[in-house]
């Protein structure tokens, strides 16, 4: 397996993986999220590719200058528990460090105990913060 910047020809497969793994919501446009991440100067989308070049995982990573953020960490169901997610997170941490950013964080739905456990095993801890949001009219 190798981790690379998401190749153009795999964009649709990445969005399909996000749908398949339950990361998308009706009010978010994952295609637009992907384009913004790839077009922005402080973000990218990483892809985990198997030996034949097939997409087995993704992670969107970016930063605001102080904090790195990880979004859309997804692993193909057939490859979950194979270390793909761990390697993608390692690559995200490396990417954030290379940008000179001192901290990385992410959000997980509180109802998703299995995923919270995954991140805790990687050393992530609850930041005791409340996330507030608001939809803005387009």
**pLDDT (tens place) for every residue of the chain, 138 residues total:** 999 999 999 999 999 999 999 999 998 899 999 999 999 999 999 999 999 999 999 999 999 999 999 999 999 999 999 999 999 999 999 999 999 999 999 999 888 889 999 999 999 999 988 888 898 876
Domain boundaries in the chain?
Answer: 2-121
Supply the Cα-derived Rg of the chain in whole angstroms: 15
Q: How far apart are CA 34 and CA 50, in angstroms?
A: 21
Residues 46 and 76 sit within 8 Å (Cβ to Cβ): no
Q: How far apart are CA 13 and CA 18, in angstroms?
A: 9
One-letter-per-residue 3-state SS of 75-87:
ECHHHCCCCHHHH
Instruction: Give φ, ψ of 6 to 5 degrees.
Output: -60, 120
Q: How far apart are CA 42 and CA 44, in angstroms?
A: 7
Helix (H, G, I), strand (E, B) or coil at 57: strand
Architecture of domain 2-121: 3-Layer(aba) Sandwich (3.40)
């Amino acid at each position: 397996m190798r981790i690379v910047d998401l190749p153009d020809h795999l964009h649709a497969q990445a969005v399909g993986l996000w749908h398949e793994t339950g990361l998308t919501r009706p009010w978010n446009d994952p295609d637009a999220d992907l384009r913004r991440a790839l077009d922005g100067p402080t973000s990218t989308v990483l892809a985990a590719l198997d030996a034949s070049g097939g997409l087995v995982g993704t992670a969107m990573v970016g930063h605001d200058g102080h904090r790195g953020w990880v979004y859309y960490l997804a692993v193909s169901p057939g490859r979950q528990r194979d270390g793909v997610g761990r390697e993608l997170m390692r690559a995200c941490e490396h990417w954030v460090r290379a940008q000179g950013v001192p901290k990385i964080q992410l959000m997980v739905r509180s109802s998703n105990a299995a995923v919270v456990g995954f991140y805790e095993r990687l050393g992530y801890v609850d930041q005791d913060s409340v996330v507030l949001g608001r939809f803005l009219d387009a």
